[in-house]
Amino acid sequence: MAGNFWQSSHSSQWILDKVDLLRERQNDMQALASQGDPSAGGGTSGVQGGAVAGEKEYQKVIIFFANFIQTLGEQLKLRQQVIATATVYFKRFYSQNSLKCVDPLLLAPTAIFLASKVEEFGVISNTRLINTCSTVIKNKFSYAYPQQDFPYRSNHILECEFFLLENMDCCLVVFQPYRPLVQYCQDLGAEETVLPVAWRMVNDSLRTDVSLLYPPYQIALACIHMACVVLSKDTKSWFAELHVDLDRVQEICKYILALYDLWKSFDERKEMSAILAKMPRPKSQSQTQQAQQQQQQQQNPGQQMQHN
């Protein structure tokens, strides 16, 4: 494992471009916007409105499953570092794959299963993981899955784990903002005041794309900046001495503020059942096998043409 972020696979392979991210999600966003959304109709304004609506609906899906991973991790008594790594694995997978490739309800516990081993928390038994998933859906998320039990078993988790590893190219190192956050707050002399508020904001940032787009130290600085604004603490001179790209820090702040704005109007209990109903889903065959076949077809188009 690389001890330095700049020498890690996280830095070299998993700091993505926003344009590429939106392009990969385009089909999913169109599917989410086109069903039951009048703004997704014809015309230039309709196309633009549909794109905005689709992006918001997609973000709601990501928020929901990030909440699911958080709740599942808490029920399993995992450290926040493990939960955060699992959330990043989940987001990395769907940065390159459609929602219809693998059911997010299967990938979420698979990411937890893998992250618990990578972060050296220990292996979670398959039985405990499946039973906890069933309990969480029944007691915490029944509004999204009414009268539905967790439909997967341990063999599905194990199969999906291999597919997740393959898609991430076995790049399992995830540097989180928590360590630089603590170090910065110590330097600022604000461990008792700023750190708890900024820590919660880092947790909230997992519901956005910032973990895919920015280095963790910049996310930590953005959360410190926002916490200082909330607490009316003047840190201009401290930030000036850091010699960091403050424009990037401001971009991260905008992502997190946009999340808070969305949360004001997002009634998860009322909306998620309908959103999940129109979310692209895998076909009935083995989900990972289907996804692997699609990936092989995309990688080897020349071989298929020769065969035909």
User: Domain count of the chain?
Assistant: 2
d(CA 275, CA 259): 18
Looking at residue 41, its pLDDT comes to: 43
What does R_g of the chain's alpha carbons equal in angstroms? 20
Q: Which of 2-16, 72-86, 129-143, 161-175 has the lowest mean pLDDT?
A: 2-16
Q: Is the pLDDT of residue 119 over 80?
A: yes
**What value does the mean pLDDT of the chain take?**
86
For the segment 244-303, what is each residue's pLDDT rounded down to a tens digit?
899 999 999 999 999 999 999 999 999 999 999 888 888 754 544 545 555 555 555 554
In which band, very low, low, confident or very high, does the pLDDT at 14 lie, cut at 50, 70 and 90? confident
169/196 same-domain check: no
27/153 same-domain check: yes
Q: Is the pLDDT of residue 308 over 50?
A: no
58/154 same-domain check: yes
Looking at residue 45, its pLDDT comes to: 42
d(CA 115, CA 119): 6
- Is 304 a domain residue? no
Percent of the chain with pLDDT over 70: 85
Apex 287 CA angle, 281 and 290, nearest 5 = 100
- Is 169 a domain residue? yes
50/190 same-domain check: no
Mean pLDDT of all residues in 118-146:
91
Residue among 180, 189, 116, 110 at smallest CA distance from 150? 110
- Is 110 a domain residue? yes
218/244 same-domain check: yes
- Is 4 a domain residue? no
Q: Is the pLDDT of residue 1 over 50?
A: no
Q: Is the pLDDT of residue 73 over 90?
A: yes
Neighbour tally for 201: CB within 10 Å: 24
- Is 300 a domain residue? no
Cβ contact 199:114 at 8 Å: no
DSSP alpha helix (H) spans, the chain:
9-13, 18-34, 44-75, 80-94, 104-118, 126-139, 154-167, 178-188, 194-205, 210-213, 216-230, 236-240, 246-265, 268-278, 287-299, 301-307
257/200 same-domain check: yes
Cβ contact 238:188 at 8 Å: yes
Neighbour tally for 36: CB within 10 Å: 11
- Is 305 a domain residue? no
146/226 same-domain check: no
164/191 same-domain check: no
Find the CATH number of the domain harbouring 211.
1.10.472.10
93/237 same-domain check: no
157/200 same-domain check: no
171/191 same-domain check: no
Looking at residue 268, its pLDDT comes to: 92
For the segment 36-53, what is each residue's pLDDT rounded down to a tens digit?
444 444 444 444 445 677
51/134 same-domain check: yes
d(CA 269, CA 212): 27
- Is 301 a domain residue? no
For the segment 97-112, what is each residue's pLDDT rounded down to a tens digit?
999 999 999 999 999 9
In which band, very low, low, confident or very high, does the pLDDT at 206 lie, cut at 50, 70 and 90? very high
For the segment 137-165, what is each residue's pLDDT rounded down to a tens digit?
999 999 999 888 899 999 999 999 999 99
Neighbour tally for 253: CB within 10 Å: 18
Mean pLDDT of all residues in 122-127:
86
- Is 296 a domain residue? no
| Structural domain boundaries enclosing 89 | 21-39+46-175+268-287
Looking at residue 88, its pLDDT comes to: 96
